[in-house]
Chain A
Amino acid sequence: MSETALDAGFFLRWMTAAAASVDREASRLTDLDSAIGDADHGSNLQRGFAAVVKTLEAEPPQTPGAVLTTAGRQLISTVGGASGPLYGTLLRRTGKELGEAERVTVDELRTALRTAVDAVAQLGGSALGDATMLDALDPGVEALTTSFAAAAEAAGQGARDTVPLQARKGRASYLGARSIGHQDPGAASSALLFAALAEAADQGVAE
């Protein structure tokens, strides 16, 4: 699988799938957020990814890197909250790491995502086990060595594993021990991002 080459079309499909999945799951994300936050995670990401798709469709970038930097910039400009800068940084940084290549390997994508996830951790000041996006992103990236499907599965498991954790960053942290027993909404949406990646791969990759 490491030989597989991914082109700009693959990354466009990833972003489109992510937008569709955020759309489908918006009310679930908002419900998760209303239990321990402020009930807007779903609608904020919905607004952001809708803007991403609109921009990408209006003028489709020609390289994988440009697709992701454009998407990241749109998220920063439209989402707000903590999710805007964090998801924006995740995609923008990944895009920058991929550079100007017209095709990238899965290995190159994994390395770029690794760097970007570390940048997100630094920006948010969070560590694994704090019940944040990181708890889904980190296992997702690691499992990319196996397959896209494995990455989606690992990210989903990582999100579910935030349930028994006490939130230490973000708005849920204000609850202290009362945040235990709830899935982190950011981890849940991060899992959607990896599920969308697997979906884009299912639709076929350029050889």
Chain B
Amino acid sequence: MKMLMNVPETVVADALRGMAAAHPDLVVDVENRVVVRRDAPVAGKVALVSGGGSGHEPLHGGYVGPGMLDAACPGEVFTSPVPDQMVRAAAAVDSGAGVLFVVKNYTGDVLNFQMAAELAEDEGVRVASVLVNDDVAVTDSLHTAGRRGTGATLFVEKIAGAAAEEGAPLERVAELARRVVECSRSFGVALSACATPAKGGPMFELPAGELELGVGIHGEPGRERRPMMTAREIADYAVDAVLADLNPRRPVLALVNGMGGTPLLELYGFGAEVHRVLGERGVPVARTLLGNYVTSLDMAGCSVTLCQADEELLRLWDAPVQTAGLRWGR
């Protein structure tokens, strides 16, 4: 399968060199794999550090900048970064006000961030962590790894990042981040399997004429396969899956997310169907963000994330942000 790259072994490093070239307001440490906002550490400000496997761009490096993350740690493709990266990032951005780790709930991310938190605390950095687990496709029980972290990660990074930018203390930023997690749920669908550079081809077989419901963002196959559905039917299925778990009593913040391989033309059409079904279910929409924000390489497909947002969360959502992937109000 053709890919725009040199060799698979250097895709992450090559992308980081490109980030450095395209975004001079970021400090990109290609060798140690840490992306930091140029003015860090910002005096008196709580710092946000996130990270995860590469392949989900613009997550996380694309969300580093004023109003969002202070640093991001990209791992290998679909592989959690290592503790050394988070410790280095935390040291680079901590102003003394403490650091919040935003961690997606995957066994690897959880273990590496946990080790990093212990090591950073040994070095005198105050660390709090928030675990994002919004994917309703996964049964959340003691007998599984628990729900995955997907689209809600962007909500957490934006809203907690805005609170930190306003000068909120660590406990408050962490509490807001956890509130966003509590109020958010997602559901994803794949029309094709994604291809990783290392494998050089699709990660699983998805026959023509079928789609995968409840898919994750790492090319993990989902829980159910069905004959291909229309955008209308997919929106009904995805939104109902989210609402079954969320039951919002307030207007929602909606992320209509492309997985990387779906054209915006199709995604906008899907977004219209998401709004239609939310209207039919009596759920008002306060804000909509539509685009490729939490991706899975070249996978065709989409996900819906809803956050039951109160006035405060909406105000923080609207606050200025200046990153490569999200930028408004400044």
Give A contacts to B, CB under 8 Å. Answer: 30, 34-40, 43-44, 47, 76-86, 123-124, 168-171, 173-176, 178
Contacts and interface: CB of A to CB of B under 8 A. Distances in A.
A178 B115 CA distance: 31
B145 A80 contact: no
Contacts of B81: 80
B223 A171 contact: no
Given A76-B115, A80-B75, A43 B82 contact: no
B237 interface: no
Contact of A168 (B77, B144, B220): B144
Given A76-B82, A82-B108, A38 B115 contact: no
Nearest to B219: A38
16 contacts: A38-B196, A38-B219, A39-B203, A40-B196, A43-B76, A76-B82, A80-B53, A80-B76, A81-B80, A81-B112, A82-B108, A83-B108, A170-B107, A171-B145, A173-B145, A178-B221
B115 A82 contact: no
Nearest to B204: A34
Nearest to A43: B198
B138 interface: yes
B203 A38 contact: yes
A39 B199 contact: yes
Contacts of B144: 168-169, 173-174
Contacts of B137: 174
A178 B137 CA distance: 14
Best-surrounded residue of B143, B145, B216, B220 (most CB of chain A within 10 A): B145
Contact of A30 (B83, B115, B199): B199
Given A34-B199, A38-B203, A124-B107, A81 B79 contact: yes
A174 B105 CA distance: 12
Nearest to A166: B143
State the majority secondary structure of interface residues on B.
loop
Interface residues on B, range: 35 or more
Interface string B295-309: 000000000000000
Given A76-B82, A174-B216, A175-B221, A81 B145 contact: no
Given A39-B199, A124-B107, A175-B221, A77 B82 contact: yes
A182 B145 CA distance: 18
B268 interface: no
B257 to A, nearest CB: 18
B231 interface: no
Interface in B127-163: 137-139, 143-145, 148
Contacts of B223: 174-176, 178
